[in-house]
Structure formats: structure tokens, C-alpha cells
Amino acid sequence: MLVSWNWLKNYVALDMELSELEIRLAMAGLNHEGTRSVGDDFAIDLEVTSNRPDCLGHIGVAREISVLWNQPLNLPDPQPVASGPSIHDNFKIRIDAPELCSRYIGRIIRGVKIGPSPQWLQDQLATIFLPLNKDWKPVNNVVDISNYVLMETGQPLHTFDLKELFGGEVVVREATDKEAFQALDHKLYKLEAGMCVIADKESAIALGGVMGGAETEVCEKTTDLLLEAAQFAPLAVRRAARGLNLHSPSSHRFERGVDPEGIDWASRRCCELILEIAGGELDQEVIDVGQPGTSPEPVVLPLAELKRILGIEIPTQEVQRILLALGNKDLQTSDETVTVTPPSWRPDLTRSIDLVEEVARIHGYDQIPEDVGVPMVPSHRTNADRIQSQVRQVMTAAGFDEAITASMVPTDWTSVFTGWTSAAPLLSDTPMLKGADTLRTSLIPSLLEARRINQSLSNPVVELFETANIYLPSNEALPTEQWTLAVSSSKSFFDLKGLIETL
């Protein structure tokens, strides 16, 4: 995730040195990957883990900075002025696949003037996109604004050319099998049943959560816009993006989840900027269909648990300050506990240990002395774990190299090696590798393939072993996972006999 140094200044005072910011963010969980100079700005590359989708936008990173330095967070309060007709007079939106799209917000702006973006907008987008693509160029004011709000909030948006929509209605539905769709990259895709599409009366106009369609893209002739802000099912977006090999900044964020309470905010923010930069008239009211997200459940933090895990005493007032600064609400305290309701953008805060981690990383891991005695949990290694470790030690001591191969293999491999079962192998709906769609029923094919690759690379004498699970069909609810050992060797019979006896 690239963030702009100058862009962050819109939300929080950056009184620290850039190097200090990089180190402190890394200590708080946003690992610093590097920094690049872009014009008079800096692009800071941060590693955002999958449980922190709130930091896939500048506001989320600015919120972290405001908490770490105890600085106020200054966020816009978008209130776009609607002076047009009611949106309900001539337009409808319907969700026919609520399992794929839980909420869809639509706003209409008429009479916009498409043109170049202002320089400040181009500069801030360039800081983010140029390091990733040296050929990147701004598109137009409306498209650039939707990209700006995406990188600001982490909420993907899409703008349709309203006059290219047929029937005065948009429907969120499942794609039909082999349905044709031309995306914004001007490539034609054959969709699979179960994928989420946004469609008008004639055809699909967008692939939900992944990419818009070429036929309704905003161009210099566009005057009227439909602005989409929605919440799509993460798993459905991931399957569609992977199945079509069509990944985008939008799919990256929807796969990890968006803030359900931030959808309307992002829509209003985008409308406000479009009215300010591209002009036009916003229809009164808004079409908001589907269900808003459920409210987070309160989480209790026992103060004794905090001290037991961290090994240090953190003042209760500091604990309360950190939790409130992170956006938690409804603070309730007692002599023994602190109870808060997590914010909508932090779905990862569900247990007391999650709050312990939040307090620790904001207070500073460097504030925990190295010599503090923290009770250690005894090892829970099973006998099976110990046996597997001993097998590996014996094999490596005998001169073998351990191979680690993929659990998914081509189907024809399982049809040849079926020593463990005569049942049909298990197939995957979403294979990780092209052509590898079957759970292996034997380690032998993978090990032979590893040996073949080594020999093709002028390594003719290679002794390999692998110890891993194979997956056998079962009449039970789940397949049988059987731990096995496979060996590929050019050693003599007596050498292998001695090895087996040692095992």
C-alpha cells in the first residue's frame, strides 16, 4: 500500500521526520517496505496485513498516526448539495443476489463537464500510481476523483455514464454461465454462473467488486453520471478475480472487506468533489438498497489479563485513551475491566486478546523491557509432531533433501497413482495453479516431478523425501487426511533397507 506524505497532511499534522514516521508505523504493525521520491512528495510503501483493510486508504493510515502521536484527526464532513429532481422519479436499483451484494448505494449527478483534473489531484494520484506504473496518466476529472476517494477511504467506487444505461434500472444479480462481458480493459470475458454482475435491462455493465464495463465508461462525451458505492461479498469477489485473472485495486479491497458504515460517507465525498470540480447537479435523495452492516459486539478487556500477557503495568487512563483514540465507543470501566464497542472499520477486534494487542502496539513494544518475566505456555507438541520431526532428522542425516510440493496436482497424476484408494479424487472449484485442480492421493507423482526438474537442471544425483498429508475421499463429512512418507532415491536396495530399519 503506497501512501503520500503530502496527502496525509490533509488529515493529521506531520511534525515528525519522515524516518521517524516510518519506524514508528513499522513498530505499530504497518511494516515499512521502502520510500520513493515523486516530485516534491514521497510515496511510502507500507505492508498492510489482511486483517487491517482499514489501512488500505490514507484516512486509515492517518488515524494510526493520530493515535501514535496523540494528534487530532481532521476528516472532511461531506455534505453535497442536492438541487436536482428526486432520483426516485426516473431510476430504480434492485438487488437480486443479496448473498453477493449486501448493500448498494446509488446517486445521480447530471450536467457534469468532463475535462482534465486540477493539478493538485493529478499530483497526489501520481505519487500513488507512478511508482507502480511508469506509464500511468490521469484519465479525466470524474474518474480521477473516484480513484482519489478510493485511495483516501479504501472504499471502491464506480461511475457509470447514465445515458448508456438502458431501461432506467440497475439490477445486482448473478451472471449466467458463459455470459459475455467487456471490461474497462477492453477485453472480453466469459463469466461463470455465480459471479456478481451489475446489469441494466440489456446486459451486464460491471463485474461486481472487480471492474466496470467498457460500454458505460465515463468519457469526454459523458454528461450524466450514476455513482455506485456498494458492499460485495469478499469470497465472491476473490473467486471472480482469480477465476478471470482480473485483479484491480477495487477487488483487492473488497476481498478483505470494507467499512459498512463508510460506504455512504465515501459516496457523499465523491459527489461533493465531482460537484466542486466537474460541476453538475445532484439529484435529491439517494437510492440505498440492501441491509446495513450489523453493529459490532462489545469487547471486555480484563486489566489483570493485560498485565499478565505484557508483563508490565500500563495506567488505566492510558489504556482508555488508546482504545478511544482507535475509534472504540461506549467506554465502560470498573476496577477490573474496560469494556468498549469496536468501530465499524475494525472487524478484527472481537476478543480481549485483540484489545491487548492494540494497547501493546500503540503504547509501544519497545516500552516492554527485555528482562520482564512473562509466563510461558508449555509446549503442546503431540507425539505425532515429535515422530514427524524425528523422521525428518533421520532422512536428512542419511543424505536426503526434503521436498515440499503443492497439495493440488493435475487430475491425470491421481489416475496413475491410486495406491491408497480406488475412489475418485477430490476436485477444487478454485485451483491455485492452472491445471492443478485435484487434491493429491499420493506423494509419489509430486516427488517424481521434483526429481525430473532437478535432473533437467543438470542435477542428476538427487535424493529426495517428502512427508506430508494426502487427501482420501471418505463417507464422512470431511475427507481423510493421512500423513505419509515418500522417498525418491537412486541408492541401492541395501542402503534403503538400512534406512527403513533406522526409521
Confidence of residue 294 (pLDDT cuts 50, 70, 90): confident
pLDDT recorded at residue 431: 77
pLDDT recorded at residue 343: 96
Q: What per-residue string of b and e applies to 97-116 under the rule 16 or more CB within 10 Å gives b?
A: beebbbbbbbbbbeebebee
Query: Which residue shows C-alpha cell 480406488?
Result: 422
Nearest-angstrom CA–CA distance, 29 and 346: 14
For the stretch 461-486, pLDDT in tens is: 899 999 999 888 888 778 888 899 99
Please classify residue 362 by burial: count the beta carbons closer than 10 Å to its beta carbon, then call 0-12 exposed, 13-18 middle and 19+ buried: buried
Comparing 357-361, 367-371, 443-447, the range with the smallest average pLDDT is: 367-371
pLDDT recorded at residue 136: 92
Q: How many CA atoms lie within 13 A of 171 on its CB side?
A: 13
For the stretch 337-358, pLDDT in tens is: 999 999 999 999 999 999 999 9
| 82-290 topology per CATH | Phenylalanyl-tRNA Synthetase; Chain B, domain 3 (3.50.40)
Answer whether 360's CB lies under 8 Å from 368's CB. yes
Q: How many CA atoms lie within 13 A of 133 on its CB side?
A: 7
- pTM across the whole model: 0.78
For the stretch 226-275, pLDDT in tens is: 999 999 999 999 999 999 999 999 999 999 999 999 999 999 999 999 99
pLDDT for residue 382 is more than 90:
no
State percent of the chain over pLDDT 90: 77
248: amino acid identity, one letter = S
Comparing 134-148, 189-203, 377-391, the range with the smallest average pLDDT is: 377-391
pLDDT recorded at residue 418: 66
Q: Rounded to the nearest 10 degrees, what angle do helices 119-129 and 141-153 cross at?
A: 60
Please classify residue 172 by burial: count the beta carbons closer than 10 Å to its beta carbon, then call 0-12 exposed, 13-18 middle and 19+ buried: buried
pLDDT recorded at residue 71: 93
DSSP assignment of 196-231: EEEE-SSSEEEETTTEEBGGG---TT---EEEEEEE
Q: Which residue has the higher pLDDT, 107 or 459?
A: 107
Nearest-angstrom CA–CA distance, 247 and 249: 7
Give strand pairing partners of 488: 464
pLDDT recorded at residue 182: 95
pLDDT recorded at residue 374: 59
| Top mean-pLDDT range of 88-92, 157-161, 291-295 | 157-161
CATH, domain 299-365, list 3.30.56.10, 3.30.465.10, 3.40.50.1820, 3.40.50.720: 3.30.56.10
pLDDT recorded at residue 197: 97
pLDDT for residue 282 is more than 80:
yes
CATH number of 2-68: 3.30.56.10
pLDDT for residue 458 is more than 90:
no
Give strand pairing partners of 282: 82, 109
CATH number 3.30.930.10 is the correct assignment for the domain at 383-502: yes
Confidence of residue 375 (pLDDT cuts 50, 70, 90): low
pLDDT recorded at residue 372: 56
Mean pLDDT across 404-426 = 80
pLDDT recorded at residue 368: 83
Comparing 84-98, 136-150, 270-284, 454-468, the range with the smallest average pLDDT is: 454-468
Same fold, 82-290 and 383-502: no
Mean pLDDT across 171-176 = 96
Contacts of 460 (CB under 8 A, 6+ apart): none
User: How confident is the prediction for the chain on average, in pLDDT?
Assistant: 92
* Of 214, 146, 137, nearest in space to 181 by CA: 214
Q: Where do the domains of the chain lie?
A: 2-68, 82-290, 299-365, 383-502
